[in-house]
Amino acid sequence: MNNQDNTNYIIFDIETQNTFDQVGSRDVTALDISLLVIWDSKTKEYQSFMHDELHKLWPIIENTDMLIGYNSDHFDIPLLNKYYPGDLEAIKSLDLMVEIQKSIGRRIKLDDIASATLGTKKIGGGLDAIRWWQAGDIENIRKYCQKDVEITKKVFDYMLEHDSIKYKDFNKKKEASIDTSDWLKPDKFAITHTLGF
């Protein structure tokens, strides 16, 4: 089990207003954020931010050591970086999907990890969140996104505690070893204060 006491990190997830088909591009940065939810290790609380409230998020990001997500290196961070006045790539990131892929050799959906490891499931999908956005149903987007962050946090905590993860492979539950030894080492942190908050 790694010591998390001296590490400030944010676990986060983003929902979008549109699909790749709707924007006519496979480029993540062509999408638009509807809202995002974070869990902050400093406050031990969840917070949500609408697309027009992101300026309230920047000081929190500037004072964290690490950004944690699921498929965040290829989706959430590049998309959020479109809005961020600094450079999120200067901040250490931990993409749990990438860590699992390193171990088992392929990408696994968060739902399949959550089901096998935690016995829980997501409460919707990204397309549901886009439909809710188009219908003006912000509360359902918020609930869905926060549930994803809760699951990601529980998966992260499980991996830290057990140095492993469970997943489903052709309906069989399997377990894979995960090397978490460098995850919370302070000497690995990048300089994060790019905006001077």
Query: With 60 as the cut, is the pLDDT of residue 192 above it?
Result: no
Q: For residue 194, what pLDDT is reported? A: 58
Q: For residue 193, what pLDDT is reported? A: 56
Query: With 90 as the cut, is the pLDDT of residue 185 above it?
Result: no
The domain 9-179 having CATH identifier 3.30.420.10: the answer here is yes
As a whole-number percent, the residues of the chain with pLDDT over 90 amount to: 81
Tens digit of each residue's pLDDT (9 = 90 or more) over 151-167: 999 999 999 999 999 99
Tens digit of each residue's pLDDT (9 = 90 or more) over 77-135: 999 999 999 999 889 999 999 999 999 999 999 999 999 999 998 888 778 999 999 99
Bridge-based pairing state of the strands 172-177 and 66-69: unpaired
Cα distance between the two ends of the chain: 32
Closest to 83 in 3D by CA, of 126, 38, 48, 53: 53
Q: For residue 186, what pLDDT is reported? A: 66
Tell me how long the chain is.
Answer: 197
Please, which residues have CB within 8 angstroms of residue 6's CB and are 6 or more apart in sequence? 186
